[in-house]
Amino acid sequence: MTRQEEAVARDDIHIPRPRLLVAFATAPLVAVLALALADIVQGRTNWRLSLGLIPILYIFAAISSLGVAVPAYFLLSRYRLVNFFTIFLAGLVVPVVVAAILRLPNPLNPDDLSGMVPAGALSACVFWAMWRRARMEQAGRQAH
């Protein structure tokens, strides 16, 4: 087993804060782009309108990510439970929580989840890929 693999197995790798911030900033952007692309492909809206709304929707997605996804990550990180499956599960759960909060005091509408949950899962996969790469690079640095 190499030193890098040993460090990964011990799970004592500290990911640099800038890399983590970039991953947290990119994940909601991916979700917004996926939702805009889905609207364009399905013909639900004008492509100019969808593309024009991306910056505005990104602000709301980033705020909800900051309020729900970031605490979920730090909770998972505290208990050393950060892996693909937990991040993916969080990507499925976070949009449901956000939709439920936005709907208060009304009940959750399943139509809200049809786009948000797949977009959340996709953004979770992107976050995990960025997190994993940063973690492996940091493990390589710590091994030397």
81-131: pLDDT as tens digits: 999 999 999 999 999 999 999 899 999 988 889 889 999 999 999 999 999
Rounded to whole angstroms, how far apart are CA atoms 32 and 135? 26
Which token pair is 82?
A: 């950060």
Percent of the chain's residues with pLDDT above 70: 90
* Confidence category of residue 141, pLDDT binned at 50, 70, 90: confident
Residue 8 has pLDDT above 70, yes or no: no
Which token pair is 67?
A: 């309020």
Q: Tell me what pLDDT residue 17 has.
A: 85
Amino acid at 62: A
Mean of all residue pLDDT scores within the chain: 89
> What residues does each domain of the chain span?
16-143
Rounded to whole angstroms, how far apart are CA atoms 112 and 45? 16
**What single string gives the DSSP state of each residue in 82-141?**
-SHHHHHHHHHHHHHHHHHHHHTTSPPPHHHHHHHHHHHHHHHHHHHHHHHHHHHHHHHH
